[in-house]
Structure 1
């Protein structure tokens, strides 16, 4: 592993570092590492944080403070095609991936790097936000975890019922017609947090957290990502449909979904959770998509519940 930049705008805990990881197919991605070991003795385990589409590791520096203070290491990823990771198209503003399974190569590189950084083998837990929830649900069938938590997981995309069939048809035909790299309809090259105004935005009701996100992007525009490509949309639709048809992983699960969610499909989240034995769904009233960027009360509840949830299941594994 080679050292990579970790920008101070993350506002994360002390001791944070970032690394370049090379995946099995040669794509270079970036991982942030915030260790808890040494602060309060040995760490309880490691949180594998899977960010959403357009995101980057600095966005979760403040979240890392919460988990490190509770005795957990935290690792977070720049997935291929976003943040400082390699991008697939000549236009770096377009979110694109060849196949959704390619993200699992990033997961494998992340897990291998974390094992190398841990002073001894530790229990792993996962938090998957938005697209990271889709990647994480697939990973939960493949990698060793003791528990999983999700924030507004992308197990479906919210479309108007009239638009949904057109999204399937247009995205399916995009690659044969040579249009797979074009922006999906209704999306733009500018990243949402810079293109939108705080008033009635779909991410958060907390203005201070809104400006925290914007400040990172204004200081480091290379982190920005615009809308997804038509081909990304098609591969995402196929993956989400396949995941919902699979049985739930045999894993303890805690999921948060905002009461005013307008980006992912709440119906898909409810269907998955209803078929996940023992899983718990929490729906903060009025909350928008970014649970970890929401009001202080919503954030505090998420951190307290996930930390307690992870502590319980890490102890159960330890015996």
Structure 2
């Protein structure tokens, strides 16, 4: 069998963690997929997949081969697109990652527009509140909030957000307005998404960053849940400004201690470097960058 075809089958099975799922993705029969994997393992003289009645997992050798196979397939696809011409219509599969709430609020509408505009494309998403490794996880494009570490990724700036302190008007009526960061120690604190029971919040005072460790009364692993608890008047929450924007606009939450906020955090679209560039990646980045730059909630660098 063609080696590139075998690689493609292996990547599909590994990513779906299922022979049936890989077959469905490729439009092949499960027996044909099984034969392809067997032929690839025979060619390499390596066991690439561990099979059980419930799961399919890549072996250690299989993980290394998976990373290389993804890169090779991507380069072949990009070479085909380059040969077809710079104006070729986007086609093929695109994988996108972003933070969970940001992905739902801002990336998913862009993905829907992209799929409607380019009918020969497919998109898969990884919306998680952690920094993903695009190369190791086989992802094409990501959205990053915060300063970027040095890397081989290309980055396009699309906006800024701030960390803001918010409370519900009903909470303020009962407990009063905190006027300095230190006064937060007397208030009920809500922490979201991976925060410890004693989160460390940073503030800017006279041009100097200061940290304040606070004890949370409620800690949740979902920004949506934390926002709901704050909206219902439980306590004080720290959010990224885009997360708070809908509730602030409705008046469900109120921003406090704005004069102590840290400098804004940049938002970037990042993608893997490429010799040829990909029509599907270029088109998606252009569309998404235009949408994000037009969002008022994502361009708050100058707001107090």
- Settle same-fold status: TM greater than 0.5: no
Higher relative CO (Cα under 8 Å, sequence separation at least 6) belongs to 2
TM-score (norm 2): 0.30
Structure 1 or 2, whichever has the larger Rg, is 2
TM-score (norm 1): 0.29
